[in-house]
Every structure is written in structure tokens, then in C-alpha cells.
Amino acid sequence: MTCHHEPACPAADSKDARAARVSSDHWEQGWALLCNGLLVFDDEGTLTPHLTAA
Ligand SMILES: [Zn+2]
């Protein structure tokens, strides 16, 4: 995770992880990548692939 925001975005494993800023949005495909690496889907689901790999 490389966050240059001020204040820094919440970590992907924090309870407010979805408050992180959008890094790359693809809402036309139904998802977006947040600054902290969290993938969010427009059905409210989330996926944290870099955490499951740890
Ligand atoms: Zn950030």
C-alpha cells in the first residue's frame, strides 16, 4: 500500500476501509479500486486479494 493522501486513507483491514479514496474506478463494470488496495463492488461487496495472499 502506497498512500500519499493527507490524512492517510484507512488500511484495507480496518473497519472503515471503504472510506479510502478511489484509486481507479470502473463503475461502468461495477467495481473500483481504492487507494488501500480494497476492491469495492456496487453491490456493496468487497474483496481484499492482497490480504488473502498474506
Ligand atoms: Zn490514500
The average pLDDT across 37-43 equals 86
Give the three-class secondary structure for 19.
helix
Distance (angstroms) between ligand 1 centre and the Cα of 41 equals 18
Taking 50 as the threshold, does the pLDDT of residue 5 lie above it? yes
Query: pTM for this structure?
Result: 0.74
Distance (angstroms) between ligand 1 centre and the Cα of 10 equals 8
Of residues 14 and 45, the one with the higher pLDDT is 14
Measured CA to CA, the distance from residue 19 to residue 3 in angstroms comes to: 13
Distance (angstroms) between ligand 1 centre and the Cα of 29 equals 22
Do residues 33 and 18 touch, judged by C-beta distance below 8 A? Answer: no
Q: Write down the pLDDT at residue 41.
A: 85
Q: Write down the pLDDT at residue 42.
A: 79
- Sorted by sequence, the CB contacts under 8 Å of residue 43 that are 6+ apart come out as 30
The dihedral built from the CA positions of residue 11, 1, 4 and 40, taken in this order, carries a sign that is negative
